[in-house]
Each structure stands twice: as C-alpha cells, then as structure tokens.
Structure 1
Amino acid sequence: MTHEPHRIDARGMKCPWPALRVARAMRSHAAVAIVADDPVAERELRALADQHGWTFAVRGEATYLLGRSD
C-alpha cells in the first residue's frame, strides 16, 4: 500500500514560512508535497532536506516533494 504525501499549499508565503511548514509536517508524515512560489523556496527546501537527510525532488513548477529516505 502506498501512502500519499501530505500536501501543503504555501503559495504567497515568503520564506522561511514554507520551510517551517514542511519541517512541522515532517514530524508526523513520511513525505510532504509542497507548492511554494517564493523565488527562494527551492533553495530553502533543498537545504532543509539536506540538513535532515530527507530526499528532495522538484515535481513541477513551484512544486516540491520531500521525504524520509528510511
């Protein structure tokens, strides 16, 4: 059985809010899909994933997927 990632719509939010939302969601979810249109969101989310050892993928324009690698 596959589990859908938790979804976050962070359009209109300036960083660090999208990253903070992901960090909070990852406490209780194995994966998070986020839509974040702040121009620095990709860099911030990638850094957050690297810091915690999570996977990071760009899934489309302003859409990112972060998850636990275990």
Structure 2
Amino acid sequence: MSSEYDVTETLDVKGQSCPMPIVKTKQAIDDLESGDLLEVVATDSGSMSDIQGWAAGTSGVELLDQVEGDDLYTHYVKKTE
C-alpha cells in the first residue's frame, strides 16, 4: 500500500474492535514527536467515525485523511504539538 503521505509510523489494529483502535492510536500518538504522521490500519468500520471524533475533540492531533478500502480502513493522524 502506498500513499502520498510521509508516514512516520504505521499502527496495525486489524481485527480489533472498539475501543481498541482509539486506545492504541492515542498510545502511539503520545510516543511520537510533533510533526510526525501516524498511519492507522483497521478492519473495524466503526473506526472511521471513532477516529474522526477522537481527533476532532483532541488537541495536538489533526486527522489528515481517511481511506476506505475493501474491509480495510486507513487513517492518517498527524501530531501537531
């Protein structure tokens, strides 16, 4: 899988359901530096709204994009502070 983003780290949460994709995403973002980009790959369709809502309500992160594929949901979250 290729993207136009310069991904710092990829988080694989395939097979995990709510709330684990959010919990793991938050943990991974906390370990990154400002400006780093986290790619989150999930199989839970709920992760689309969950990660969008989490990013909107969380300071220091920006959801750049979400890509829905065949039973695969990819999220690009940037740490901004």
TM range (shorter): 0.7 to 0.9
Q: Which moved more, 1:48-57 or 1:19-28?
A: 48-57
Task: Using the aligned pairs only, state the percent identity.
Answer: 16
State the partner residue of 2:79.
68
- Which structure shows the bigger proportion of residues in helix conformation? 1
Instruction: Please give the secondary structure, in 2, of the residue aligned with 1:26.
Output: helix
The runs of 5 or more residues in structure 2 that have no matched partner are 1-5
Given the two structures, how large is their TM-score scaled by the length of structure 1?
0.82
Query: Does structure 1 retain, via aligned residues, the 8 Å contact 2:7–2:39?
Result: no
Amino acid at match of 1:4: V
Match of 1:16 among 19, 30, 45: 19
Structure 1's consecutive aligned runs of 4 or more residues displaced over 4 angstroms after TM superposition are none
- 1:60 deviates by 4.8
User: Residue 6 of structure 1 aligns with which residue?
Assistant: 9
Equivalent pairs, count = 68
Q: The residue matched to 1:52 in structure 2 has which SS?
A: coil
Secondary structure of 1:33's counterpart equals strand
